[in-house]
Chains A and B, each alone.
Chain A
Amino acid sequence: MKILVCLKQVPHKDARLEASGGWIDEGGIKFEINQYDTYALEEALRIKDAGEAEVVVATIGPDRTSQALRTALGMGADRAIQIWDDSLSGADSLTIAKLLAAAAKDESFDLVLMGLMSDDANNSLTGPMLAELLGLPHTTGAMKIELSDGKAQVERELEGGSLQVVDLPLPCLITVQTGLNEVRYASLKGIMQAKKKPLDKKGISDLGLDAAAVASKVTVDKLYVPTKGEGAEILEGSAGEVAQQLVGKIKELGLL
């Protein structure tokens, strides 16, 4: 069994963000592995613990993202791939998916896992796009994954708390929901071993691609924190009282 876990490094959840142009100001910000992706990694490591598996982690990002890969290696992943070129700054989901697809295509992974979305951009696009590019069946938002007889049975979370069970033949791609498992902490031994594990750095041409083929189609015009508007009014009281007040306000403003 060979498993690819795609992960993204995102600003730490407690980081104080300042927008600058189309992205945040990265100076002095701490980064961490996207929370959704940590569950995907944990799931892969559990499959490895239960049997024989090689777990490969891949990310797309500048030098700082090697820290995320080392963390994953420290937790138990076997090797890592870091893909970057300065032209990829601000890359859109399709570009990311194309790069990951190029890195994965000759490796014949049995299973590709990743988070349902990233904590920073919230697009939820990379997984399905990557699956399409690799020609793999896929499903999203897994709450439970069971592998047997060359297939994966996945429980997916739907609106309103209902669960859907789907079967996919391997190889396939699954994006996971948070809470699917309990993510482990790295051991000191794991951290010590991590530095001996391979971390391959690749550029666009190393993947057999050229910059034009992976140029982003989406550009971010502006990233900003909305300023607090004037005139907001907080209604206080019990739910019933607030509802009463709200109805009063709606009538008063002639909105209905």
Chain B
Amino acid sequence: MTDRRTPLARARGLGSAKEGVHHWWMQRLTAIALIPLVVWFAISLVMLSGADYQVVRAWIGSPLVMVMLILTIGIGLHHGQLGMQVVWEDYTEGAFRVVMIVLTKFLAVLFGLGAIVAILRIGFGG
């Protein structure tokens, strides 16, 4: 059967990495989401300065803060590992590059899940 797709349709989404604009788009999408989250977090951090353990724990465990913190840390780590991937791709090569990219992604998931479990545990009183 002949390929009825146009040359443009075949080429679309096939950059050098064969994954199209997904990486680029995810980086922008997480960037937009992080604008309000980082503003909120920076203000909260400054307000919390000098607070003792009980105050910080109560703050983390309140429902709205739990949601905002999980979003901030989760999306922040996602945006960060996307950016670090580009940094490794720009400045390193070969096996070292692959190892560092994989390590970056593993570390982001590990710390992200650790933080989410911690927030839920604090919030639900473990």
A and B physically associate: no
Query: B residues engaging A (CB < 8 A)?
Result: none
Query: A residues engaging B (CB < 8 A)?
Result: none
